[in-house]
Every structure is written in C-alpha cells, then in structure tokens.
C-alpha cells in the first residue's frame, strides 16, 4: 500500500473586473514536493464568462491559462520561469496578484496520487 504524501493546491480564478472583486473558478494548481509533481487543470465556462463580462475574450483567457500550463510542465515556451524548480514554479503561479487571472490562497492535504487528487479538486471546485 502506497503511503500518503502532502500536497498544496490553489484555485485559479477569473476576476473580470478586478475593482469589483467578483470572480469564478476556472481551474486548480496542485504541487507535491515528495512526488515532484506540479499539475494544472482548467476549463473556462463561456456562459459564466459572458455573464460576468462582455469585454473579456475567451481566446485571450485561454492563451494566458495555456501559458500557466507551460510553466507547470516547464516547456521551452514558458521562458525563464518554466526552468525554475517545480516548487518555485508553484509558488510563482500561486502568488497573490491583482490581475484578471488570480489564484486563491494555498491549501494543503494528503493524498496517494497527486494527479488523481488534482482531478478530484477540479471536479469539486470548478465543475
């Protein structure tokens, strides 16, 4: 039986009008140091996006979230940040910011399989 490991996660939010502080969840970032795992899963609900703001473009948001995915996987398209250690990339993604795409405070837990836990958190907080 596999032992449980600690993990940290943050919810990715879209804040269409930062000054109004209204948001909706679009994804989850999960990091497990013991498993050397960093993953992100997201989905932009077009209807919610339109309800919150007619000014934000779906394609623009998706492009930015794709960049977050690149940072998670450390692809060459992710630039310098994507070359950081996994823990540093998580801290950068989960850092507090005042932009249209934000993350919640980080939370922690225990799991056996970080990838499976990411799926469960995504179902709970996004879908």
What confidence score (pLDDT) does residue 20 get?
A: 85
Count of domains forming the chain: 1
Containing structural domain, residue 108:
5-125
What confidence score (pLDDT) does residue 107 get?
A: 98
Q: Long-range contact list for 68-72, CB < 8 A, 24+ apart?
A: 68/12, 68/27, 68/29, 68/40, 68/42, 68/93, 68/101, 69/40, 69/42, 72/29, 72/38, 72/39, 72/40
Mean pLDDT of 73-87: 91
User: Could you give the C-alpha distances from 46 to 58, 62, 70, in angstroms and in order?
Assistant: 7, 11, 22
This prediction has a pTM of: 0.92
* Largest distance between two CA atoms of the chain: 51
44 within 8 A of 122, measured Cβ to Cβ = no
Q: What pLDDT digit, counting tens, does each position of 45-65 carry?
A: 999 999 988 888 999 999 999
Q: Is the pLDDT of residue 31 over 70?
A: yes
Question: Which pLDDT band holds residue 1 (cuts at 50, 70, 90)?
Answer: low
């Amino acid at each position: 039986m596999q032992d449980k490991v600690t993990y940290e996660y943050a919810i990715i939010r879209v804040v269409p009008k930062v000054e109004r502080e209204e948001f909706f969840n679009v994804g989850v970032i999960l990091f497990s140091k013991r498993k050397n795992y960093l993953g992100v899963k997201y989905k932009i609900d077009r209807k919610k996006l339109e309800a919150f703001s007619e000014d934000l473009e779906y394609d623009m948001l998706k492009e930015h979230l794709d960049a977050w995915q690149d940072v998670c996987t450390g692809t060459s398209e992710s630039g310098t940040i994507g070359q950081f250690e996994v823990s540093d990339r998580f801290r950068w993604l989960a850092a507090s910011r005042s932009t249209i795409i934000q993350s919640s405070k980080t939370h922690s837990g225990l799991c056996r399989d970080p990838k499976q836990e990411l799926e469960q958190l995504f179902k709970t907080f996004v879908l």
